[in-house]
Amino acid sequence: MTPPRPRRPSALGGFLLRSLSLAVSLSLFLSAGLGSPAMAMAMDKDSSPAAQRLVMQVAADSAVVDAIRERLGHRLAQLQPEVSLDLIVVASVAADRILDVAADTAPGAPLARAWLDGRAADVATLFLIPRNSERIVVRRISLDKGFDEVALAEVVYVVERSMVSLLAFQPVGVPKAEARAALTPALTQSPPSRAPLESPPAVPAVPAVRSTSGRLSFQLAALAGVSAWSTHNLAVPELAVAALIERQGQQAQQRARLGIWLMGQLRRSLLVETPDADLSITGGSAQLMFVAGRRFENLGFGRVAFGPGLAFTSVQPTAITSAAKVIEVRSRSDVDLIFRAAVRWDFALLRWLTLLVAATADATPARARYTATVDGKETVLVSPWPLQPTLFIGAAATLP
C-alpha cells in the first residue's frame, strides 16, 4: 500500500506563518530595547515634571511682579500639557550675559528660561532661551505710559506663544549672533548690572523694593444720571462733569491709588405743583472729594470717595389764584453746605477710555423748606430730602 503523499502548505498558510514569525521577532526586539537603560532614559527625559516648566527672572516693580505671576501663571496652566511657572525676583538683569548663556542640556532642565528687565522708564526687555537650543527670543516693549496693561499683556502674550511653539516642537527666536547685533546699541547705553545671572539658591526670594517715586494721572469724565430729590420728584435727570487726579507709582497698573475727585453737576429744572403754588426749581452742585481706589484683576477699578460741596438752588414760585384765600409767595436762592459719599467702578474699553458707573449720596446738614404765606400763616410747600441719592453712568478719558 502506497503511503499518502504529504500535503504542501497553501500560499495563504505560508503567508500567515511568515507574518506570525515576524511579529514575534519584532515584539522581542522592542521588549529588549525598551528594557534597556538607554532607551528608558531617552523616553523619560522630556516626560518628567521638570521638563514642562518655565523659570523666569524678573527685575521690576513689585506690582509688575505680582501681575506677571498671576496672569502668566494662569495662562501657562491652561496649556496642554500644563507648564508651571517658577518666578524669581532679582535686583537686575544682565542683558549682555544672557546672550552668552549656553544651551541647557542637563537632565530635568526646564522647557525654557526667561528674563524680564523692567527697571527702565521707557522700555522693558524680555529674553527667552529654549532648552537644547542656541536660539533666543528677544522683545523690547515700549513703556511710554509706564508698565501699564498694554505692556503687561504683551509680555504675557510673547511668553505664552513661545511656550506653545516649544510644546509643539517648533523653533522660536533668532540665532544669538543676530540678537546680539540688534541689541548692541541698547547694551552700550544700559547701566552695568549688579546681580549675577545664575539662579539664586532655593531660599525665599527677596521682594523688589517698591518705588517711592510716582507721577500724577489726570482723567476727565462726562456723566448722566437720575436723583431722588423729594417725595414729589423721585427721578430728576442730572448732567455732570468730573475731573480725577490720582497719584500712582512708576508702574501704571499699580493696584492702590489715592487722589482728588472734582465734580460739578446740573439738575434739570423741575416743576412742583402744590394746592397753593407751583414751584419751578433749578439747581446744581459742586464737590471736592478725596478718593481711594484699587484695581481688581479682570474686574475693573473700584473707588470710594468722600468730601464737602456746595448745593445751589433757585426757586421761582407762582401762586394759585384763589378767591377763598390770600396767597403770598416770593422767589429765593439758596447755597447750602453738603457732604457727599460716592462709590465708582471703571471698566476699561480702550487704553485711554473707560466706562464708569457711580452712586452718590448727598447729605445736607440744614433742612431746606420752601414756603408760602397763606392767609397770613406760613405754609410749607415742599421740602427736599436731607439725604439725596443719585445714580450715574458715563465715560472717562485719561489725558496723556
From the list 95, 188, 194, the residue with the least C-alpha distance to 136 is 95
pLDDT at 244: 94
Sign (positive or negative) of CA dihedral 321, 323, 324, 330: positive
- pLDDT by residue (tens digit) across 252-275? 445 678 999 999 999 888 888 887
pLDDT at 116: 94
From the list 231, 111, 110, 116, the residue with the least C-alpha distance to 164 is 111
Task: Give 369's DSSP letter.
Answer: -
- pLDDT by residue (tens digit) across 158-176? 999 999 888 888 889 898 8
DSSP 3-state of 36? coil
Q: What is the pTM assigned to this prediction?
A: 0.49
Cβ-in-10-Å burial (0-12, 13-18, 19+) of 62 comes to: middle
106 has a pLDDT exceeding 70: yes
Task: Give 77's DSSP letter.
Answer: H
C-alpha cell at 370: 420752601
pLDDT at 210: 39
Task: Give 216's DSSP letter.
Answer: E
- pLDDT by residue (tens digit) across 202-232? 333 333 333 434 568 899 999 999 999 888 7
**Do the beta carbons of residue 297 and residue 255 sit within 8 Å?**
no
**Do the beta carbons of residue 384 and residue 368 sit within 8 Å?**
yes
Beta strand segments in the chain, E: 53-59, 84-89, 112-117, 123-130, 135-142, 174-175, 214-227, 236-249, 256-273, 277-296, 300-319, 327-328, 332-348, 353-363, 370-374, 377-382, 387-398
121 has a pLDDT exceeding 70: yes
From the list 105, 264, 125, the residue with the least C-alpha distance to 193 is 125
**Rg of the Cα trace of the chain?**
37
Beta-carbon contacts of 66 under 8 Å, excluding residues fewer than 6 positions away, are 255
What is the DSSP pairing of strand 236-249 with strand 214-227? antiparallel
